[in-house]
Every structure is written in structure tokens, then in C-alpha cells.
A and B are shown apart, each in its own frame.
Chain A
Amino acid sequence: EPEVTQTPSHQVTQMGQEVILRCVPISNHLYFYWYRQILGQKVEFLVSFYNNEISEKSEIFDDQFSVERPDGSNFTLKIRSTKLEDSAMYFCASSERGGPLTQYFGPGTRLTVL
């Protein structure tokens, strides 16, 4: 069964450093998403991406964040200058184009900012 994959599984970085989280969505999916879950809190939507542009973003997704689909398979989330409060589990998801767009999630990347 096709799955969303994410790398790395755990990223440790120093405050102020740039990080790139990588995702490989399910191959025939056209919508891509990033969510995050701060420890002990709800899963929160960050951004959705379709047809090579952002289709929706939350208030969390400020100028420090960017997304990119650099090739036909990868989908990345970049945080330019990490803050302590960016420490969280980041989930990538993808969905097909039609219907209710069930989102299928990857295993997550745990980001720790020191």
C-alpha cells in the first residue's frame, strides 16, 4: 500500500539555524499539506499546496516558513531561522484531487530546537 514518507525522523538544530524537512507524498496525489503537533497539544494545520502554489495557509505559517516541490516526488518545508517554539512533530500529508480529499499522513519528523 502506498505511503507518505518523511525524512529525517528526528532533526536537532540550534536556534536561528535553517532546517528543511522532506516528504515524499503518495505518487498519484496532487494536494500536499504540512501539519505540526507541539508536544501535548493538538495537531495544527500549517499549509496546503496544489499545482505548485500555496492554496491555503494558517496564521502559524508566517514568513519564516516556506514550502517547495523541487521535483516530481519531493515536498519540502523550510524554516528559515528556527525558534525554540518551533520544536514539534511535523507531519506531511497528501490527498487525491477529487472527492472529499482524504488526507494520508506520513510518520512525522520530530524537530528539536536547542
Chain B
Amino acid sequence: AQSVAQPEDQVNVAEGNPLTVKCTYSVSGNPYLFWYVQYPNRGLQFLLKYITGDNLVKGSYGFEAEFNKSQTSFHLKKPSALVSDSALYFCSMRGADTGRRALTFGSGTRLQVQP
């Protein structure tokens, strides 16, 4: 069975500092990996994805994520956090080698950026 883990319920960072939101996964075969962000009373907004190729992927609003196959991780990063980045972040995955399209989600990490 496949699974996604986000080990931190909350991450606190000062504005202007770099941020990392952690994600690890478990799947048989290769993964497709995604990050979504949820602002209050809004839906899940797509940020970025890893499909294949370069392990560092860049997405919306200056976010990037690094795929590490040996550590089965896909951590979300941003060099300089903004207060407006404060939101709930979800890592998700589907297996690339199956016909299944259902996404498996992590439990979410709340990012709080302090001014």
C-alpha cells in the first residue's frame, strides 16, 4: 500500500528566512509527487509536481521541491518566506507505474510565517 507522511503538524518561520516543509512517501515503483496549498475557506491549490527528470522542481510563488529517491522524500522549500505563505500544505502522491489515478495525501503541515 502506498502512503505519504508529513512529520510536522506545524512549521514556524520568520519572514525572510528559508522554509522547509517535509514529506516522505512509500510506494511500490516510481512516484508522481505533488504539493498543494490550502488557504482558509479555499480549495486545494496546485503548487508543483515531480514526474521525472531533474530532482529539483520549481513551482508557483517561488516554491520548489527536491525529489530524493534514496530517502523517499519530496521536501517543499522556499528561499525567503513571506507572511502570505502562511497556509496549510499537503503533499500527495500517486504511483507512476500503475493505472491508478487516486491521489494519496499526507496529513498536512500548517506553515506559520511570523512578521
**Chain A residues with a Cβ under 8 A of chain B:** 4, 6, 31, 33, 35, 41-45, 48, 55-56, 58, 91, 93, 95, 99-108
Distance A95 CA – B101 CA, assembled complex (angstroms): 10
A residues less than 8 Å from B36 (CB atoms): 105
Interchain nearest-CB distance for A105 vs B (Å): 4
Binding site for A on B (CB under 8 A): 32, 34, 36, 41-46, 49, 51, 90, 92, 96, 100-108
> A56 — which chain B residues lie within 8 A by C-beta?
100-102
Contact for B107 among A42, A48, A55, A101, CB less than 8 A: A42
| Chain B residues, Cβ within 8 Å of A44 | 105
Q: How many cross-chain pairs have Cβ atoms below 8 Å apart between A and B? A: 55
Please give me the residue from chain A that is nearest to B105 by CB atom. Answer: A43
Q: A11 → chain B, closest Cβ, in Å? A: 15
* Chain B residues closer than 8 Å to A58, beta-carbon distance: 102
- Residues in B with CB closer than 8 Å to A4 are 43
A41 to B88, CA, bound (A): 13
Which residues in B have their C-beta under 8 angstroms from that of A6?
A: 43
Given known A42-B108, A105-B36, contact A91–B101 (CB-CB < 8 A): no
Query: Which A residues touch B96, using CB under 8 A?
Result: 100
With contact pairs A100-B32, A100-B49, A102-B34 given, residues A45 and B103 touching in the complex (Cβ less than 8 Å): yes
Per a CB cutoff under 8 Å, which of B44, B45, B101, B105 touches A42?
B105
The answer for the CA separation of A93 and B44 in the assembled complex, in Å, is 9
A55 and B105 form a contact (CB under 8 A) = no
**A46 (CB) vs chain B CBs: closest residue:** B102
- Could you tell me the distance between the alpha carbons of A48 and B110 in the complex, rounded to whole angstroms? 28
Given contacts A55-B101, A102-B46, 11 further A-B contacts (CB under 8 A): A6-B43, A33-B102, A42-B106, A45-B102, A48-B101, A56-B101, A91-B44, A102-B34, A105-B36, A105-B46, A108-B43
